[in-house]
Amino acid sequence: MQPSASVTSGTPPPHRERIWSDFDGQQALAEARTLTDFGPRPSGSEANKKLRQHLVARLTRLGWQTSEQRLTEKAPDGREIEFCNIIARFSRYPASAQRVLLGAHFDTPPTQEFQDPGASDGGANTAVLMEVARTLTLDPQLAGSVELFFLDGHSPFQELTLDDGLFGSRFSAQMIRIDHRAGEFRAAILLNNIGGASLDYPPNSDPGLANALKKAAAAIGVKLKPANRSLLADHLPFAQAGIPSIALLDADFPFLNTADDTVDHLDADSLAKTGKLILYFIVAEATTQ
């Protein structure tokens, strides 16, 4: 029997053929349900903390090494709100010199006159990222070409502006700039609200990255189109840090930011298309290194 390939033997493990086909939309939907069952998850809440613990525990079981990024901001009412991002790298294969940054926010808006379940926006996007993490374990070398960013503080205290909201992505991007790490990332793909009828990207995404993703989408029969408007989303701080960045979302999801953003409005096939597209793109990027 031939010894298995390993890091210590110096022989890279074999690549998984057509790994994008291993992404399971039903598993992603089940994970979205699990995340949504934590209830509304505003930053600083107990539900937000429990969800983070769930993410870390599952990532660790899958072989991803996690670290935290914590920051504190003062809310308009004077309360100090702590945000906590989770960063993950695959622990069973050395990280590539240049990686693809994959990110999704897991928080939901602060409690308002209604409670936002955040199934598409905070649930489905995070669930797809978790299923991508699981799928990548089938190809350790490919997993080493990715860094995962689970972001807190997407939602604003009052109204989304350049200064209110995107707290987690702005802080992560700031740390990348401070540490002079922008050159480590070939691209940044940020998942916003997904799981609905369409898959879009805002026009204020990086044009070259958008074209590369459209080619990947066409290759596997996924429809990816530009949204009809630019959007203030988590890809922008990373773009400002010098990383080609794009957001993926359903720009016209009718239940976004409402009490009806529930799991029963998510589609497993839609989640699968998003996950498969990301994995196909990662494979394509890895072959050009």
Q: What is the pLDDT confidence band of residue 10, given thresholds at 50, 70 and 90? A: low
pLDDT at 231 (0 to 100): 93
CATH number, span 19-287: 3.40.630.10
pLDDT at 9 (0 to 100): 45
Domain residue ranges in the chain: 19-287
Q: Which residues contact 278 (CB under 8 A, 6 or more apart)?
A: 102, 128, 132, 189
Is residue 277 within 8 Å of residue 217, measured between CB atoms? Answer: yes
The residue with tokens 């839609």 is 270
What pTM was estimated for this model as a whole?
Answer: 0.94
Radius of gyration, CA atoms only, the chain: 18
- How far apart, in whole angstroms, are the C-alpha atoms of residue 113 and residue 40? 13
pLDDT at 78 (0 to 100): 87
Q: What is the pLDDT of residues 222-274, one digit of tens each?
A: 999 999 999 999 999 999 999 999 999 999 998 888 888 899 999 999 999 99
pLDDT at 289 (0 to 100): 66
Is residue 224 within 8 Å of residue 276, measured between CB atoms? Answer: no
Is residue 167 within 8 Å of residue 71, measured between CB atoms? Answer: yes
Q: What is the pLDDT of residues 185-232, one digit of tens each?
A: 999 999 999 999 999 999 999 999 999 999 999 999 999 999 999 999
Report the 10 Å Cβ neighbour count for 42. 23
pLDDT at 181 (0 to 100): 97
pLDDT at 1 (0 to 100): 30
The residue with tokens 């066409």 is 218
